[in-house]
């Protein structure tokens, strides 16, 4: 049976009502309300849940805000993921929009309103509406943090994972840019004349392996520290000679974007690229950075008169070529590191003329 008692200040004036429930097999439940009616209602509901075996301890979820949860997720999870730094800006956006809510109070309606507000927000950086892909990433990040809270950190969420009930924004059509006609030859010719001598071997290696830029190249980024000062931090180490086995024709990636290591098989062309490279003292396979290659690649495309081609499109190109060579979905996923076939599909754009050849 619940005990309801008043709470008085120093002058004996009632300032609230405290409900206390002691029941065998359950932790002591204590909560204070502004009115006696609210205290009685809470006690009645809580005791009913205990009797029906559906009681959930809400104390920690009531005391933990979304802001607190995301901060902990950033500290304990994101810092251990390759590319986790890219999520920090999304953390701040989510904290600004939803941070004040407790985990016990956050629900699908609140998250849906956040989604709709973001869909109508103009980006200060681009001057255009924020893309649906960005908002989908934000909701996905929030969902992963809530799952971590419930499954690993023991924070009970009374209403379950609310993001699971929220409709995600429809994504734009997947980018399907591939090298066409003689674009590969023109691109590689332009790379040969680049000031950055690493550009051509990097481009060929990317086409042959479908590896991400951060898996191939060292990368740096400027971020602000707690005092607001810009500091340069390494965000990826790039491929190391210690992880390359020329005899087995493999390149091991101990840390990838999705947090799982994988070993990439190397084609004969990729091996030729590696065998022609000088060995650097610092152990890196490619003695340049992503930032340097990014600029050199853009200039090479301009010289080759190739429009709308990004370095990341080479990953699309390589993935599609794997399928055109006859590899199956799980084989390609093992090479590229895609966790789901849906994501793999977005990176795969097969040429109709090549499919026609397979039909005979």
The catalytic site residues sit at 212, 257, 312, 315, 338, 347
What sections of the chain are H helices per DSSP?
A: 36-52, 59-63, 66-76, 88-98, 108-119, 132-151, 183-192, 199-209, 213-216, 268-275, 290-303, 313-324, 329-336, 341-346, 352-359
Element (H, E) at 4: strand 3-8
- From residue 192, give the alpha-carbon distance in Å to each of 34, 166, 209, 239: 75, 50, 20, 22
Do 221 and 232 contact (CB within 8 A), yes or no?
A: yes
Residue 154 is given by DSSP the state -
Structure tokens at 211: 């590896």
Do 246 and 271 contact (CB within 8 A), yes or no?
A: yes
Q: Which residue has the tokens 């994972």?
A: 161
- From residue 126, give the alpha-carbon distance in Å to each of 66, 86, 175, 238, 307: 28, 18, 19, 30, 21
What are the φ and ψ backbone dihedral angles of 340, each rounded to 5 degrees?
Answer: -125, 150
Sign of CA dihedral 170, 110, 61, 38: negative
The secondary structure of 189-253 as a DSSP string is: HHHHT-SSTTHHHHHHHHHHH---HHHHSEEEEEEE-TTS-EEEEEEEE--BGGGEETTTTEEEE
């Amino acid at each position: 049976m619940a005990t309801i008692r008043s709470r008085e200040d120093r002058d004996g004036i009632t300032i609230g009502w405290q409900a206390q429930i002691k029941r065998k097999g359950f932790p002591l439940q204590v909560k204070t309300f502004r009115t006696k009616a609210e205290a009685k209602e809470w006690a009645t509901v809580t005791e009913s849940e205990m009797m029906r075996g559906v009681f959930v301890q809400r104390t920690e979820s009531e005391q933990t805000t979304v802001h607190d949860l995301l901060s902990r997720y950033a500290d304990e999870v994101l810092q251990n993921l390759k590319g986790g730094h890219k999520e920090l800006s999304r953390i701040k956006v989510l904290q600004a929009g939803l941070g004040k809510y407790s985990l016990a109070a956050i629900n699908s309606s609140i998250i849906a309103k956040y989604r709709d507000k973001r869909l109508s927000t103009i980006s200060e950086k681009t001057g255009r509406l924020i893309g649906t892909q960005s908002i989908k990433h934000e909701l996905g990040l929030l969902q992963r943090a809530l799952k971590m809270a419930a499954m690993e950190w023991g924070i009970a969420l009374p209403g379950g994972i609310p993001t699971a009930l929220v409709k995600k924004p429809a994504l734009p059509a997947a980018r399907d840019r591939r090298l066409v006609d003689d674009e590969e030859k023109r691109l590689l010719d332009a790379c040969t004349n680049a000031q950055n001598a690493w550009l051509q071997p990097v481009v060929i290696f990317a086409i042959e392996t479908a590896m991400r830029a951060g898996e191939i190249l060292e990368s740096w980024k400027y971020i602000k520290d707690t005092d607001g000062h810009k500091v340069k931090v390494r965000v990826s180490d790039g491929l190391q000679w210690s992880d390359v086995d020329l005899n087995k024709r493999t390149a091991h990636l101990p840390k990838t974007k999705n947090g799982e290591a994988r070993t990439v098989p190397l084609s004969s062309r990729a091996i030729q690229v590696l065998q022609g490279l000088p060995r650097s003292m610092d152990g890196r396979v490619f003695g340049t950075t992503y930032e340097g290659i990014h600029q050199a690649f853009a200039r090479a495309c301009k010289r080759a008169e190739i429009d709308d081609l990004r370095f990341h499109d080479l990953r699309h190109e390589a993935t599609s070529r794997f399928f055109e060579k006859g590899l199956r979905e799980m084989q390609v996923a093992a090479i590229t590191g895609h966790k789901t076939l849906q994501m793999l599909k977005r990176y795969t754009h097969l040429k109709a003329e090549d499919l026609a050849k397979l039909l005979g």
